[in-house]
Every structure is written in C-alpha cells, then in structure tokens.
Amino acid sequence: MTDNLGKIVVLASGRGTNLQALIDASKENYFNGYISLVISDNPRAYALERARLAGIPTVVLDYASFPSKKEYEKKLLTVLQEENPDLICLAGYMRILGKEIIKSFPHKIMNIHPSLLPAFPGLEAQKQAVEYGVKVSGCTVHFVDEGMDTGPIILQECCPVEDYDTPESLAERILQHEHRIYKEAVKLFLEGRLEVKGRKVLRKR
C-alpha cells in the first residue's frame, strides 16, 4: 500500500464536511490515497454533491427503497466487494453496519465520532456531553466493530466544553478537530502504521 495509492470508499448520509476534509486531504496529497467511490443511503445527502463536484463516482442506495435492512446490507456488501477498497471510511453514516460487512473488511473500516469514546456513544453525542456537564469533550476515530461506537480507538483529540455551550456550538468546535484527526488516521492507515492488538491500536514508528 505504501507504493501504490490506497483506495478509499466513503459512506456518508448527510452534509459531508468530513468527506470534504478527506477530499481536500487527498487532493493535497496529505495521504497516499484517493477516494474511489462515495456511497450514500440518503439520496438527498449533500455529501453526494460534494463528491460530484470533486469528480468522485457516487452510488446511492436509497434505504427507503429496500424491502428490509437485510436486503440493503446485501446490496451494500456487493457494491463494496466489487469496489474492493483498502479502506472504508464512515463519515456521518447514520446506520450501524451489519456483521457480514464488518467481517468482510476486518480492521479496514473506520468511523469518526464526536465525543471522547467510550463517553457518549450513539446519537447526539454533543448534546449528551452538554447535558452531562463535562468540561472537556472531543472526537474519536476508531475501527468499526459490531457494537455501537465500540471499536478499537485510533486517534482522539479533545477540546473544552464552555459553560454556555449549546449542542450546536460544541458540535462546531469539535468538527474542526474531526477534520484534522480523520485525515491523520487515514494517513497512518495507508502508511501501514496501525497495528491492532486486541482493543489497542498501536502506532508503528
């Protein structure tokens, strides 16, 4: 992977600022890879527009048009297997990936989450942090396993939670950190510098 460009597939459901950060990083050769495909479960996701503007192929698997989650996952797995990426990045992808997909790409799927895991997994992590009253929060890039935001942690970055933060103001602050550590995690991965040992991800020098 170090000589050749790593092939990345991004899955996104929404506005896609993390996708944009990865697109920009790839254009600047921040990492040794390119985004070959963007897949969305939501035909209205602005992430799709970002991909198109960058000339990246897109596949829309409109979740609502599938008879069941099983059928949707089957199709998603087929698309991923055909694309055969080195790395799959979830970037605001709002579904839990099924077992089959995770098993097919062991330690090749990453996610970005807007809290310091294991605190505040799941939806509305920034709102959870504000309501809990923590003074520090941040974001986490982790490998995806079968749990909800439970996979081995690759990188984390923290930021303060201010007294009068709203979930929105905190989300905005955290997002700046997300955009930085996601591209860094991708870079480390594509350089072959991440070694997973049980729950730990070791960074090879």
CB of 75 to ligand GRF, least distance (A): 22
Q: Is 179 a catalytic residue?
A: no
Quick one: how far is CA 192 from the chain centroid?
A: 18
Is 62 or 68 the residue whose CB approaches ligand GRF more closely?
Answer: 62
Q: Looking at 107, 113, 142, 179, which residue is catalytic? A: 113
CB of 69 to ligand GRF, least distance (A): 19
Task: Give the tokens for residue 124.
Answer: 């509305």
Is 115 or 188 the residue whose CB approaches ligand GRF more closely?
Answer: 115
CB of 159 to ligand GRF, least distance (A): 13
In the complex, the residues that contact ligand GRF under the rule CB under 6 A are 12, 14-18, 91-92, 112-114, 178
Is 168 or 195 the residue whose CB approaches ligand GRF more closely?
Answer: 168
CB of 154 to ligand GRF, least distance (A): 14
CB of 199 to ligand GRF, least distance (A): 21
Tokens 């070694």 -> residue: 195
Is 1 or 94 the residue whose CB approaches ligand GRF more closely?
Answer: 94
Q: Give the CB-nearest residue to ligand GRF.
A: 92
Three-state helix/strand/coil letters over the chain: CCCCCEEEEEECCCCCHHHHHHHHHHHCCCCCEEEEEEEECCCCCHHHHHHHHCCCCEEECCHHHCCCHHHHHHHHHHHHHHHCCCEEEECCCCCCCCHHHHHHCCCCEEEEECCCCCCCCCCCHHHHHHHHCCCEEEEEEEECCCCCCCCCEEEEEEEECCCCCCHHHHHHHHHHHHHHHHHHHHHHHHCCCEEEECCEEEECC
- 153-160 and 194-197 beta bridge pairing: unpaired
113 forms beta bridges with: 140
Is 157 or 191 the residue whose CB approaches ligand GRF more closely?
Answer: 157
Catalytic residues, by residue number, are: 113
